[in-house]
A and B are shown apart, each in its own frame.
Chain A
Amino acid sequence: MTIDLILFLILAVVAIATALGMLLSRNAVYSALFLVLNFATVAVFYVLLGAPFIAMAQITVYAGAIMVLFLFVIMLLGAEKTPGNPKWSDYILPAGLALVLVLESIYLLISRGVPSGEIVQPEASVNSVDFLRQMGMALFNEYLLPFEVTSILLLVAMVGAIVLTKQEKGGRG
């Protein structure tokens, strides 16, 4: 158990450090890279919790696809440098929102009872191939409607992006 705890502590420090680095970097590219590191750390957490599929999906989707697009946009627009020094008043709203989140998670932790500090090992089925099958079944039977709604939401976003970038008639399409 102790080795799990040591690993967890190291990863936690890395996760917090990368999150802070993301917030405090003055260069948007470095911010994006810190965020990628943070995603990778979270993926390692998932592996420790016995969910390799979620971990790999996290890396593929967030680190591999979304953040590459972020970087792409930052580099294409040349928006690396944040202009000027931010004022203290700029921090109030984000800090307030973060405080709400922290309070919420503390409440959630307490309402479930004091955690024992031990990582609860999931059932054996989570690690088997059957887990993927079960997850697919749950996704496409039980949660079909939310799944489809999510995909339509993404489709709408894509169509919106295409409409916004489409040139008027007469231009080369």
Chain B
Amino acid sequence: MSWALFWEWLIKSLVLVFGLLGGFAYTTLYERKAIARLQVRVGPNRTGPWGLLQPIADAVKLIFKEELTPANVYKVVFFLAPLLTMVPSLIIAAVIPVGTSIELFGRTIPLYLSNLNVGVIYLMSIASIAVYGIVLAGWSSNNKYAMLGGLRSSAQMISYELTLGLGFVIAILLGNSMSLVDIVEKQRTMWFGVFQPVGFVLFFIATLAEVNRAPFDMPEAEQELTAGYHTEYSGMKFALFFMAEYQKMIVVSMIGATLFLGGYLGPFEDRFPILGPLYLIAKVVVLLFMMIWIRAAWPRIRYDRLMSFGWKVMVPLSLAIVFITATGILLADMYGSLWMWTIPVASTLAGLVAVVFVFRALRRKAYERA
């Protein structure tokens, strides 16, 4: 390993980490601004031009806040939990390609940290250990509300991980590879989101649950659990949880864009590779806006409904979608590539059937209550 390669990796990692951290800061501002607009308010506009310095002011405030450690917490785990939440949300981005490669100082620099041939499964494994931080925060706080928040989040994340995994399977099937670079390159002809719109919607819903965003933000339901798993945390330790939540939002948007929306691909990207990261950022911003919009528009879903939605609707439907995708690919292999279009048609039908079933079940419940 030459030193140039070492520096290249180091610089790329630093750019990625600081990009995510800066992204976190401005995602909070973006969310506050967007929600304010959706609620016909103005939002933060006092700090700097258009309120652009607001994240810095927030950071300074959080740093100078008093940090309390309650007397009866399990100290080691209590200190480790915010880190365990924070670190997975950073390292999961290591396999996401942000572009093909650029020429710089006479070297060809690929715009990804690593092209693992098991990239998708790496995403899956990091996503699955991300739950530890929240569970341990809830337990180590030695507080009933925090504990319930932690337990809720672990149950919820495990339930929706199945749908998330099946969403990964759809992308693997369509891309015929587990490497994220291959999956993106395979989308040069057509985005997977077009072939599998229902799969993308399911994946998006599962990621909302996975990052504990509204309407699935049960672990921090204020009316029921004060603040959920981070009730006892204050100061910078609370800031770490806050950071992790927004970084997870960014990262799952990156993953969703990479798997289903063509990642860094876009017009003229093959001639000017530097456009790749910009396209990815644009797609991430759109997905983030979807998340914020959902939070502004929908109330929190009740916990038992959340679980039955996960197990009785999401999992069977995504199994059916995986089946439809695999069948469509086989048909396309045998009778020509036009048969690929059976996938979106059949999966949209399956999605509609599922919507009808949910609607009828809800109406029956409403009758029972009346």
**Which residue numbers of A lie inside 8 Å of B, CB to CB?**
29, 33, 36, 52-53, 56-57, 59-60, 63-65, 68-69, 71-72, 75-76, 127-129, 132
Contacts and interface: CB of A to CB of B under 8 A. Distances in A.
Interface string B82-122: 00000000000000000000000000000000001110011
Interface stretch (B27-35, B148-156, B272-280): B148-156
Interface string B135-174: 1101100000001001100110010010000000000000
Contact of A72 (B116, B118, B154, B177): B154
B177 A129 contact: yes
Contacts of A57: 121, 125
A59 B139 CA distance: 22
Interface SS, A side: helix
Interface of B: 74, 77, 116-118, 121-122, 124-125, 127-129, 131-132, 135-136, 138-139, 147, 150-151, 154-155, 158, 161, 177-179, 182
A164 to B, nearest CB: 18
Interface SS, B side: helix
Contact of B139 (A29, A36, A127): A29
A64 B177 contact: no
B131 A75 contact: no
B210 to A, nearest CB: 12
Given A129-B177, A129-B178, A52 B116 contact: yes
6 contacts: A33-B77, A57-B121, A59-B129, A63-B125, A68-B132, A129-B178
Contacts of B77: 29, 33
B112 to A, nearest CB: 16
Contacts of B138: 75
Nearest to A75: B139
Nearest to A59: B125
